[in-house]
Amino acid sequence: MTILLFAMLGVFIFMMFRRNKKTQQQQAQLQSKFAPGVEVMTSFGLFGRIVEIDEEENKVLLELSPGNTATVHRQAVTKIVEPVVAAEEPTVVPNDASSLTAETPGTAEGTVAGGTAGTAGTTDNTVPRVETPEETMRRLNDEGKKDS
């Protein structure tokens, strides 16, 4: 029984060291691909492009957006972002000019079936409702009164 217990403990320790070694190899392989201009993601979810790598202090300067940079620890960069190549969809070109007008047949410009664009009570949800800031405040205040 004791021999079986020691064998199980030995297998557990062997697997633990093996897993750590694999993780270290993957991290070293990833960091060998680091170079200025590579798109990366950090462990805390920031996406950016490597601008500069400081080997002595293990720091990476990331450009998050044009003009915005962040300095992070080299080990915080956990993933190289591969650009996604989207398949090109064929462009459908209609053979008549009806698609060039935004007006629906049978309705005047600026109206929606069932009412005027921007009015409350329209049943067609294809046109977004445009409201002024005063109308927005009034609507939000009225909704607050309904909850109480």
Q: What is the pLDDT of residues 84-99, one digit of tens each?
A: 766 677 777 767 766 6
Percent of the chain with pLDDT over 90: 29
* Contact yes or no for 1/9 (Cβ under 8 A): no
pTM of the complete model: 0.45
Average pLDDT for residues 7-11, to the nearest whole number? 94
Range list of H helices, the chain: 2-32, 133-147
Backbone region of residue 115 per phi and psi (left: phi > 0; alpha: psi in -120 to 50; beta: other values): left
Average pLDDT for residues 12-22, to the nearest whole number? 92
3-state SS assignment for residue 73: strand
Say which amino acid occupies 58.
N
Average pLDDT for residues 11-39, to the nearest whole number? 89
Long-range contacts of 35-38 (CB under 8 A, 24+ apart): 38/80
